[in-house]
Amino acid sequence: MSEAVRQLEPTALWNYFSDINAIPRASKKEEQIIQFMMDFGQQLGLETIKDHIGNVIIKKPATAGLENKQIIVLQSHLDMVHQKNGDTQFDFATEGIKMIVDGDWVKADGTTLGADNGIGVATIMALLASTDIAHPPLEALFTIDEETGMTGAMELKGGMLDASIMLNLDTEDDDELTIGCAGGVDITAKGTYQKEAASPDAIAFTLSVKGLSGGHSGMDIHKGLGNANKLINRILYHLCTEKKIQIASIDGGSLRNAIPRESKAVIYITPSDQDAIEEIVAKIGDAIVNEHNTTDPDIVIQFEPSDSKTQVIPMDIQQRLIKSIYACPNGIYRMSPDIASLVQTSNNLARVLVADGKYEILCLTRSSVDTEKDDLAQAIRSTFELLGADVTTDGSYPGWTPKPESAIAKLMADLYRANFSEEPNVNACHAGLECGILGQNYPDMEMISFGPNIRGAHSPDEKVQISSVQKFWGFLLDTLQKSPEKNN
């Protein structure tokens, strides 16, 4: 299945992508891929360094004639988001990604592909291993744990890199040159409750919302995609308001940076209310399907009998929990008043888990304005503190301030026009790129981010366009060969 990928052009890049996709590399579990990269650099005879946190740096001298060019650091992250469809049998800890060539796209069989940011890693590897590609002095920086905490970028010390220019290979549209990004902060609300037995005559049902499109909570937040946690809570709210139900458990979403695709809840109802409750579910469900038929055409809402024997949440906590989740902001909070079409601030209600006397709610709040990010985080904190939850914020990282007049931005925009006879989209993005964090210890380094077309990142629909990878590869080689010379 994956062998067809190795035949694609440029073959070195696709072969390295296949190699790393055979290695488990979940965020915070990158030991195998770190060792693989260390072995890779050392086998090439290049200076190879692992810092205290696990970032890998490989340095390669310039090819003959380009020694006077400025040093360029090529940067990508080693970890990938592990997501799979509910009906896919796959063990990320032991299996390599099963890749499929589908026309002009490479995708995976029911799981995330790892093109984010594996294509960037493979690109850098191909350059480091090459013997016939002209390039300036290179420093390759492979960071860890980008997807769940930006840990590698945060822990990289000043003085580890000598480069004056950074090319971050982690953008998902091949006509974009990204020169700024949003910062973010993780919000966690936790609490406990005393479990109760369901009413003696109550019967159990499972309510599920699934089949949503999902996606990246930064890059895709402007698309108005459905959030399974918010949608199931909407149904539960109406059920709680109009009839007596007892909630036993809720399990929705997964990672903070993934828009939730699925959620399910086990509830107990009075048998005499079954017909009325099914009508409410159908009515609200039809409204949800109609509202999301463009963004989430495959959404499915089910209400089915369950054999669950789980105890339930006390009624007072149930009411406050459902209302707090209803009140929690989700999606776009504010658009930028300065940059057209840029989401300035947003929140992703990423995870809701209620079971066995505990509840946990995870959010990721993003903004390109740190003060507004903090303000929205405080609003969310207040929402869940009214529930009585213990709310913490951590993992805060800064945004990346755009510098459109930098030499590398101008050079790459000119090269793009010359190579492709069209204007590049020079912009800032709402995702959390590592550039803003890395810039704290390297404030004078010019940075830009670009990459090939990747769709559905952080979801099992993830795919990367073959022709776009070829375009990106050629553009990168041209940039390296025409990069700025050292300031004398």
Catalytically annotated residues = 79, 146
Closest by CA to 156, choosing from 78, 46, 56, 58, is 56
CA angle centred on 358, ends 357 and 361, rounded to 5°: 155
Instruction: Report residue 320 as tokens.
Output: 């406050």
Q: Which residues, listed in sequence order, are joined to residue 345 by a DSSP beta bridge?
A: 334, 367
Provide DSSP, 367-393: ESSHHHHHHHHHHHHHHHHTTT-EEEE
d(Cα 405, Cα 412) in Å, to the nearest integer?
12
Instruction: Report residue 67 as tokens.
Output: 């020694």
Measured torsion, CA atoms of residues 257, 449, 23, 92, in degrees rounded to the nearest 10:
20
- How many other CB atoms sit within 10 Å of the CB of residue 88? 13
In this structure, what are the phi and psi dihedrals at residue 361, rounded to the nearest 5 degrees? Answer: -130, 125
- How many other CB atoms sit within 10 Å of the CB of residue 304? 9
Q: Which residues, listed in sequence order, are joined to residue 141 by a DSSP beta bridge?
A: 57, 75
Q: Which helix (H) or strand (E) holds 100?
A: strand 99-102
Q: Are strands 165-168 and 446-449 parallel, antiparallel or unpaired?
A: parallel
Q: Counting every residue, how long is the chain? A: 488
CA distances from 413 to 124, 167, 407, 419, 479 (A): 21, 14, 10, 10, 10
Beta carbons of 79 and 56 less than 8 angstroms apart: no
Closest by CA to 234, choosing from 332, 325, 333, is 325
Instruction: Report residue 207 as tokens.
Output: 């309510």
